[in-house]
Amino acid sequence: MSYIYIDESGDLGVSKKGSKYFIFSCVKIDKEKTNKRFKRIPKKIRQRKLKKKYKNCPELKFSNSSLLIREQFLTRVAKLDLEIYSLIIKKSSTNKPLRDNLPILYNYLIKILLEKVFKNINNNKKLYIFLDKCMSPNQRQNFENYIKTEFFYLFEKLPNVIIKHQNSINNECLQVIDFVCGAFGYKYNTMKLSGDANHYTNIVKNKTIVEKDDLFRK
């Protein structure tokens, strides 16, 4: 059994107030024991690192966490037997036809990311894919149909794929991937910080299999 957790950082919009980069990151876990340890990370940090008044906070997120909490999440991730894949898109380089149809662009980008991940997937295993519940029911159905169709081109034998859209407040693993994706978002959307921009991604560097930032570049 394998587990894939996907999150995003930034936005796909083209407004001047939007982010310069849009980022998809995912974590792939192939062992049940590792998945359980991954899931326990938020609870352990709450118990050991948070002040009493914050211990009952329903969800920890990279964007509003301190330097210490961010480092604790990523350091614990880096100790586990897992793989990190990240796709970084400079929005100004995106093809206009795709920019004009954001749902298609969204699905296409996840497909590009998953193609990297699936090269290391055993198609005899059951595969769970978890995403934060941010799509409408119609978007979720279109996304699932699109991804499953793409599987036919990647595998001779289709794996048993189960796609789950869940609220991250109820899924500790999605809370952890938020910190992983946040690390890449910090790096690419805060380039003005110069040498400090790599601070968080360096913590998980030894687990990062793919960090692709040249898609659509001419």
Inform me whether the pLDDT recorded for 17 exceeds 80: no
Percentage of the chain surpassing pLDDT 90?
40
What pLDDT is stored for residue 15 in this prediction? 66
Inter-CA distances, 18 with 11, 96, 197, 209, Å = 7, 17, 19, 28
Inform me whether the pLDDT recorded for 136 exceeds 90: no
pTM score, two decimals?
0.90
pLDDT in tens, 99-110: 778 878 888 888
Range 143-146, long-range pairs (CB < 8 A, 24+ positions): 143/106, 143/107, 143/110, 146/107, 146/111
Q: Which domains does the chain have, with CATH numbers?
A: 2-212 (3.30.420.10)
Tokens 């599987």 correspond to: 151
Instruction: Look at residues 59, 85, 74 and name the one whose alpha carbon lies nearest to residue 172.
Output: 59
Please tell me the least confidently modeled range out of 11-25, 57-71, 151-165.
Answer: 151-165
Count how many Cα atoms sit within 13 Å of the Cα of residue 9 in the half-sphere of its side chain: 26
CA distance linking residue 118 with residue 127, whole number of Å? 10
Q: DSSP letter string over 96-134?
A: HHHHT-HHHHHHHHHHHHHHHHHTT--TTSEEEEEEES-
Q: Chain-wide mean pLDDT for the chain? A: 85
What pLDDT is stored for residue 14 in this prediction? 66
Inform me whether the pLDDT recorded for 2 exceeds 80: yes
CA distance linking residue 163 with residue 151, whole number of Å? 13
Which region, left, alpha or beta, applies to residue 194 given φ > 0 means left and ψ of -120 to 50 means alpha?
left
27 or 144, which is more confident = 27
Please tell me the least confidently modeled range out of 119-123, 137-141, 184-188, 210-214.
Answer: 119-123
Contact call for residues 181 and 9 (beta carbons, < 8 A): yes
Average pLDDT over residues 140-154: 75
